[in-house]
A and B are shown apart, each in its own frame.
Chain A
Amino acid sequence: MEKPFHSVTLDADKCKGCITCVSRCPTGAIRVRGGKAKILSELCIDCGECIRLCPHHAKKAVFDPLSITENYPYTIALPAPSLYGQINNLDDIDYVLNALKLMGFDDVFEVSKAAELISCYTRELLNAGKLKKPVISSACPAVVRLIRVRFGDLCEHVLPVLPPMELAARLAKKRAMEQTGRPIEEIGAFFISPCPAKVTDVRRPMASETSYVDGVLAISEIYPPLIAKMNKITDPTPMVDSGIFGVSWAGSGGEAAALLDEKYLAADGIEEVIKVLEEVEDEKLSDLDFIELNACNGGCVGGVLTVENPYVAKARLQRLRKYLPVSKNHLSENTDRRRMNWTKELTAAKTMILSDDLGESLQMMAKIDEIYQRLPMLDCGSCGAPSCRALAEDIVLGYANENDCVFQLREHIHTLAKSIESLEDFIPAPFRKELHQNDSK
């Protein structure tokens, strides 16, 4: 099996072993071991919540350096629409697109352009009635991973259409090949990303075998050189080729609004997303057609690789899109829709289940419950697990010991001390005067 990859990683030198990230991780994927946070690979969904929360800045996202573009003779920048919301006083997206070219990219292909095509395709699919409702957006890779790990039975609700980044890379490369005559190997496509989950999605794609994206650059890294170039532009060449629909994908609700179907819900922020998924699971949202979920507050503008407050960024986008047409990209009758579909089936990860055998699983659950009753139920995190219940599970799964609980340990020591105390007056047989033990005192 392929080695797991995660963009979200730990800087061990900075980690103090506190439990801030442990107790807030939405999948309970972090434990403290050896005084440092340890991320459990099979549970991590790369949502970046721990990066946001860590008071010591010990959690970081791995992304590609700008120098990765040097490996390709022809380079294309794929800016996420959330990038536009980072820039103050911007009233024309062309400044950003022109500046990317000045930074050295041979071409720029807006991800919002691909997003508009996906909106178009999703509308068609919804109208055709072939999808299991409510359809859940697949654009946020952290949400899709969350569904795999915690809501496995909802996999069939996930929209089986490529995310905008991936479609943009494919269309951009096709266009570059046609325009330049270069073979595909010479063309590098680089996504300018608001979040680490996209890095993981490129290295370990869920929708297809391989990704057409050759590198993921962080908005926060691109930002300073981009601003420097933008300041040099006075009269930008017209380049923008997407409308309100595409640009609005940057914020929560944008994707859903573009479906022109009022039976939708859009939720953002990982905790709210989890609540909505619980409701879908209990069939409480069966009357909805579409559910847009974004792991970050405010949507992609809230990603941990951005520089601006998500709500400020969203307000700027509202201003920016004011002079844009509704949508500039539409599917034509002869567009091959199949190329926008997932080529891999999304399946539930079995990581949350105790055992494959129901009987054995039940026995383990009985043991977990028994241990849990003995724990203090304070969820203090001193054992390195997110909660007393998680510790009880870890003990039964063999990852922890009951003495890892400081309260249990204290009790244990107390019992030991008592037995030592009771032995204090004990006189071994050779030193006893009497033959009968009870007479020795």
Chain B
Amino acid sequence: MPPLTFTYQVPGDDFTRAGEASGQLKRTLKKIGFNADVIRRVSIAMYEAEINMVIHANGGEIEAQVSPEKIEIWFRDQGPGIPDISLAMKEGYSTAPDNVRSLGFGAGMGLPNIKKYSDTLEIDTELGVGTTLHVIINAE
């Protein structure tokens, strides 16, 4: 059986809706009966990536492929791109604007947390074109 695919559009103009897609996928994974730890890792990694898309890239698209062995997610945006990936991966490094930080976001833990909770993280980014995050979380 081919993996089950879910796609989500992340609106860039409505900050209050950030986190909805990760919530939806979480409910679906629960129904399917994945291990609680796997679900937790998926929802935290996805939440962080979703927030990043809203803060930095004016939204984007998420594609999640679910199979019994792994959950594979692509986060695609047409944002400004990441100039220095190793700097962006540093805990506490943030380029988020002040208004977002005052809400408690933009603490510079987004990418580090995605890396921490996933088994594989690939970042494909081009300045002025956009960024694609490819995340794999093994279910076994």
User: Which residues of the other chain, B, contact A369 by a CB distance below 8 angstroms?
Assistant: 4, 6
- Binary contact track A141-171/B, C-beta < 8 Å → 1, others 0: 0000000000011000000000000000000
On whether the beta carbons of A354 and B32 are closer than 8 Å, the reply is: yes
Smallest Cβ-Cβ distance to A275: which chain B residue: B23
On whether the beta carbons of B1 and A359 are closer than 8 Å, the reply is: yes
Asked if A416 is an interface residue, CB under 8 A from chain B, the answer is no
| 8 Å CB contact of A365 from B26, B31, B36 | B31
User: Which residues of the other chain, B, contact A363 by a CB distance below 8 angstroms?
Assistant: 1
Task: List residues 83-133 of chain B with CB under 8 A from any CB of chain A.
Answer: none
Asked if B9 is an interface residue, CB under 8 A from chain A, the answer is no
Asked if B82 is an interface residue, CB under 8 A from chain A, the answer is no
Smallest Cβ-Cβ distance to A150: which chain B residue: B30
On whether the beta carbons of B68 and A359 are closer than 8 Å, the reply is: yes
Task: List residues 119-161 of chain A with CB under 8 A from any CB of chain B.
Answer: 152-153
- Binary contact track B1-37/A, C-beta < 8 Å → 1, others 0: 1001010000000000000001100101011111010
On whether the beta carbons of B32 and A281 are closer than 8 Å, the reply is: no
| 8 Å CB contact of B34 from A281, A358, A359, A366 | A358
Number of interface residues of A (CB under 8 A): 20
A252 and B68 alpha carbons, distance in the complex (Å): 42
A352 and B29 alpha carbons, distance in the complex (Å): 11
Known: A353-B31, A354-B33, A365-B4. A283 touches B40 (CB 8 A): yes
| 8 Å CB contact of B4 from A283, A354, A362 | A362
A153 and B30 alpha carbons, distance in the complex (Å): 10
On whether the beta carbons of B1 and A153 are closer than 8 Å, the reply is: no
Smallest Cβ-Cβ distance to B36: which chain A residue: A153
On whether the beta carbons of B44 and A358 are closer than 8 Å, the reply is: no
On whether the beta carbons of B33 and A355 are closer than 8 Å, the reply is: yes
Count chain B CB atoms within 10 A of each CB in A355, A361, A362 and give the residue with the most: A362
A361 and B30 alpha carbons, distance in the complex (Å): 10
Asked if A439 is an interface residue, CB under 8 A from chain B, the answer is no
Asked if A2 is an interface residue, CB under 8 A from chain B, the answer is no
A281 and B25 alpha carbons, distance in the complex (Å): 14
Smallest Cβ-Cβ distance to A353: which chain B residue: B33
Smallest Cβ-Cβ distance to A348: which chain B residue: B36
Question: Tally of A-B residue pairs with Cβ under 8 A?
Answer: 55
A363 and B4 alpha carbons, distance in the complex (Å): 8
Asked if A235 is an interface residue, CB under 8 A from chain B, the answer is no
User: Which residues of the other chain, A, contact B4 by a CB distance below 8 angstroms?
Assistant: 362, 365-366, 369
On whether the beta carbons of B44 and A283 are closer than 8 Å, the reply is: yes
User: Which residues of the other chain, A, contact B68 by a CB distance below 8 angstroms?
Assistant: 358-359, 362
Asked if B57 is an interface residue, CB under 8 A from chain A, the answer is no
Asked if A356 is an interface residue, CB under 8 A from chain B, the answer is yes
User: Which residues of the other chain, B, contact A393 by a CB distance below 8 angstroms?
Assistant: 31
| 8 Å CB contact of A361 from B32, B43, B47 | B32
On whether the beta carbons of B40 and A281 are closer than 8 Å, the reply is: yes
On whether the beta carbons of A358 and B23 are closer than 8 Å, the reply is: no
| 8 Å CB contact of B33 from A278, A282, A283, A356 | A356
User: Which residues of the other chain, A, contact B31 by a CB distance below 8 angstroms?
Assistant: 352-354, 361, 365, 393
- Binary contact track A270-307/B, C-beta < 8 Å → 1, others 0: 00000000100111000000000000000000000000
On whether the beta carbons of B66 and A278 are closer than 8 Å, the reply is: no
On whether the beta carbons of B32 and A353 are closer than 8 Å, the reply is: yes
Q: Shortest beta-carbon distance, B113 to chain A, in Å?
A: 10
User: Which residues of the other chain, B, contact A152 by a CB distance below 8 angstroms?
Assistant: 36
Q: Shortest beta-carbon distance, B112 to chain A, in Å?
A: 15
A153 and B23 alpha carbons, distance in the complex (Å): 16
| 8 Å CB contact of B40 from A282, A358, A359, A365 | A282
User: Which residues of the other chain, A, contact B36 by a CB distance below 8 angstroms?
Assistant: 152-153
Q: Shortest beta-carbon distance, A359 to chain B, in Å?
A: 5
Smallest Cβ-Cβ distance to B31: which chain A residue: A354
Please provide the 10 A-B residue pairs with the shortest distance between their CB atoms, ordered closest to farther: A153-B36, A353-B33, A358-B68, A361-B32, A361-B33, A366-B4, A359-B68, A365-B32, A282-B43, A362-B4
Q: 7 pairs across A/B with beta carbons < 8 Å?
A: A153-B36, A153-B40, A282-B26, A352-B31, A359-B1, A361-B33, A393-B31
Given A358-B34, A363-B1, 14 more contacts at CB 8 Å?
A153-B36, A278-B23, A278-B26, A283-B40, A352-B30, A353-B30, A353-B31, A353-B32, A353-B33, A358-B32, A358-B68, A358-B139, A361-B31, A369-B4
Residues of B within 8 A of A (CB): 1, 4, 6, 22-23, 26, 28, 30-34, 36, 39-40, 43-44, 47, 66-68, 139
